[in-house]
Amino acid sequence: MGSNKIKILIAEDEFIIAMDIKKILEKLGYEVTSYVSKGVDVISKADIEKPDLILMDIMLSGSISGIEAAEIIKSRLNIPIVYLTALTDEETLQKAKVTEPGAYLLKPFDERALHSAIEIALYKSQMETQLRLKTKELEEEKEKTDELLHHILPEDIVNEYKHIGFIKPRHYETVTILFTDFEGFRDITNSLPPGELIKELNEIFSCFDSIIDNYGLEKLKTLGDTYMIGGGLPKESNDHALRVICAAIEMLEYLENRNKSSKIKWMMRAGVNTGSVVAGVVGTNKFTYDIWGDSVNIASRMENSSVPNKINISGTTYKLIRDYFECEYRGKLNVKGKGQEDMYFIKEMKPAAVGFVNEIRSQKTTKETDQPAI
């Protein structure tokens, strides 16, 4: 069984004084691990023995003083140090303070003063250790909170919240919204065990997340089989409509390839509209970044009026992307309170869109190549 006594290393250049200190310490119930008289020796003994405290004479034998030895030890180990010295000049005191000693004991000293200095130094060290642990725990919790916020909210929104403590609602003059859902989802839900259904949706939506991330788009929400994204917010851009359509095409391509080997054949419908929205964060305990406005409702109507494996876009979106895609006019959709809205199916990419997609994929490859090896 090891001793539970406080272990103390004595660094004192006068042998008789060191032996007197050793007797006093053992009388007080401490354990003396070693006695050294040189600065280099106290450093090596501290590394090997790792005592609970060091009684350090400022004037030691050899080329290294007690203060210099303390600086080296403090840089390696968390050991409290009590200085013993007969020097009281201001220059020495200031040098000693740099090493943040637990106490500073002037010679000659009595048993009570030595005991008090040691106990104060040990208590201060214990409190500092607990404070460091608490600080580390708080930093780890903050990192977890920050990571969680980044999973829930866009990066710009998180930065705003951290900077000013709240998130201001914002009006966007033009953004592009995409809604998707799956044909026959109710039948699929009824035919699959819950665990398998969640596994399928998680796999599909995780891939969708990766696709929209490549295009710099923002995932807004999933609700059942509905997947909603936005382009041009919170970071505004001029090509948000192009990015949303390209992402929607990749989502359809992914499902087409997946269906070749999957037991469940997922058939996605997509609807897109461009217009103004108000964006903001709602909730206090559970944050949600969301958007509101007629443009959102029209995008939802576009999705409802689409068919499997097709991207149905509004006339507003068509005007922004017609130089990049061949489109098929479908006629008009009556939108309550807004009148008639033109609809188009995306048919295929024009050369300009192909070039844009290749550029996006090239940027993604470059980023992956630049990642440091783990």
Q: How far is CA 314 from CA 81, 310, 333, in A?
A: 75, 13, 9
Report the pLDDT value the prediction gives residue 340, as an integer from 0 to 100. Answer: 87
CB burial of 46-72 (b: ≥16 within 10 Å; e: otherwise) equals: beeeebbbbbbbbbbbeebbbbbbbeb
Three-state SS sequence of the chain: CCCCCCEEEEECCCHHHHHHHHHHHHHCCCEEEEEECEHHHHHHHHHHHCCCEEEEECCCECCCCHHHHHHHHHHHCCCCEEEEECCCCHHHHHHHHHCCCCEEEECCCCHHHHHHHHHHHHHHHHHHHHHHHHHHHHHHHHHHHHHHHHHHCCHHHHHHHHHHCCCCCEEEEEEEEEEEEECCHHHHHHHCCHHHHHHHHHHHHHHHHHHHHHCCCEEEEEECCEEEEEECCCCCCCCHHHHHHHHHHHHHHHHHHHHCCCCCCCCEEEEEEEEEEEEEEECCCCCEEEEECHHHHHHHHHHHCCCCCEEEEEHHHHHHHCCCEEEEEEEEEEECCCEEEEEEEEEEECHHHHHHHHHHHHHHHHHHHHCCCC
What is the distance between the alpha carbons of residues 314 and 326, in angstroms, rounded to a whole number? 14
Cβ neighbors of 126 (< 8 A, separation 6 or more) are none
Q: What structural domains and CATH numbers belong to the chain? A: 7-133 (3.40.50.2300), 153-367 (3.30.70.1230)
How does pLDDT run across 13-68, given as a tens digit for each residue?
889 999 999 999 999 999 999 999 998 999 999 999 999 999 999 888 888 988 88
How does pLDDT run across 178-197, given as a tens digit for each residue?
999 999 998 899 888 999 99
For the chain of 374 residues, list the mean pLDDT of each consecutive stretch of 10.
79 91 92 92 93 90 88 90 76 62 77 89 88 84 70 66 67 94 91 91 94 91 91 90 95 95 92 92 70 92 94 96 95 84 94 90 69 49
How does pLDDT run across 306-319, given as a tens digit for each residue?
999 999 999 999 99
* Phi, psi torsion values for 197, nearest 5 degrees: -65, -45
Report the pLDDT value the prediction gives residue 284, as an integer from 0 to 100. Answer: 64
Partnered with residue 222 across adjacent β-strands are 227
Cβ-based neighbour number of residue 184 at 10 Å: 14
